[in-house]
Amino acid sequence: MSDISLEGGGLDAVRLAQALIRCPSVTPRDEGALDLVQAVLTDLGFDCTRLPFESPGTARVDNLFARIGTGSPHICFAGHTDVVPVGHPERWQVDPFAAIIEDDVLMGRGAADMKGAIAAFICAARDYLAEMGDGFSGSLSFLITGDEEGPAINGTVKVLEWMAGQGHIPDMCLVGEPTNPSHLGEMVKIGRRGSFNARLLVQGQQGHVAYPHLAHNPIPGLIRLLDALGAERLDEGTPHFQPSNLEITSIEVGNHATNVIPGMAEAAFNIRFNDLHSGESLERWVRDRLDAVGVPYELTIAISGEAFLTPPGPFSEAISQAIVARLGCRPELSTTGGTSDARFIKNYCPVAEFGLVGASMHKANECVSLSDLAALGDIYGDILRRLFAYA
């Protein structure tokens, strides 16, 4: 049995969120966060499996899969207990890992992203299972990683591979990321844009600025290449996605001298792309435009996620109806924002995301209101009732 028990309604989402925040689980450290989740879920009757993974050049990361039931439908909640660093501690009003409550607001690293949501869903699952008793015939599971805020190599990707091998792939998955920009119930994510990262290198020949004929300046060539990439829009957007956009994120020449022509020039850029493109098609688009300039270049590409969409349907409607019932507002079904582990889950089953307000995530004084935490638990419970009823 865990030191913190959910049995009989003895623990609410606030106390559980506080306990999780007090585990300083900055990626890749766990610091007892998964032990706590596992202990509480074990008390509720879940079969829990710890899944540590490691890869060359990366830290070992612990993960957790927990399931109760063997029937259908199988609904999974996915989340992460790892958090980003606190940054400058002096900019916090409180100890980032003390989980202090002030003026009905819970403060601490991970409160919004996303230990609060994990606590809310665990309590919702507890209440739903108690409500159903012997009448529960489906399956409910948790996929909790410790590698979402890190390189995301030893976390959800490998857990999903293990789940597939063990016959644990769910029928649908709800991710508890903080999806709401300013108020709870504002937004549900039903997809995400893809992310295309590239580094563009132009070689030159270093020399004295007074003797340019003895050198070759790579900067004008790099500028021409970048200008070619920015000369046209990628697209005008789609019904569920905003237009794709290319942003230059850095230009480097490694030269601080005023009388030296640099020997190389390098730029980095990122393309956030919608479902009109793939990483492969974007590479062709980029290379075609660079090749047309006629400047020799080197290009290194990394795709951190493909664009995806879970089309609106019964899954997203159950989430929307639960939000309307509790808060009286209908959420926007959105694909905005950055990437999340939903980009991996979508390869296995339909996935949607709904959690807390994200305005304070990754910032000093990260926080969540107690009323939002309570409301989120109510919404999660209603989502479970609706999804299992639809089956």
Q: Identify any residues that bridge with 50 across adjacent strands, giving them in sequence order.
A: 64
- Count other C-beta atoms under 10 Å from residue 391's C-beta: 13
Catalytic residues: 82, 148
Phi/psi of residue 236, each to 5°? -110, 10
* Number of separate helices (H) and strands (E) present in the chain: 9, 19
Residue at token pair 């501690």? 89
Contacts of 134 (CB under 8 A, 6+ apart): none
**Pairing mode, strands 332-334 and 187-189:** parallel
Angstrom distance (rounded) from CA 367 to CA 190: 25
Query: Could you tell me which of 383, 325, 377 has the C-alpha nearest to residue 14?
Result: 377
Side chain identity, residue 21 = I
Cβ pair 271, 246 in contact under 8 A: yes
- Residue 75 · residue 170 · CB < 8 Å: yes
* Percent of the chain as helix, strand, coil, to the nearest 5: 35, 25, 40
Please give the DSSP secondary-structure letter assigned to residue 162.
H
Query: Which residues lie closer than 8 Å to 369 by C-beta, 6 or more apart?
Result: 104, 105, 106
Q: Where are the alpha helices (DSSP H) in 155-234?
A: 156-166, 219-229
Helix 116-132 with 370-390: angle, nearest 10 deg: 50
Q: Which positions ≥6 away from 63 have C-beta within 8 Å?
A: 34, 50, 51, 52, 53, 143, 144, 145, 146, 147, 154, 155, 156, 158, 159
CA trace torsion 48, 54, 58, 61 (10° rounding): 10
Which residues fall within 8 angstroms of residue 268, CB to CB, at 6 or more apart?
197, 198, 199, 200, 248, 249, 250
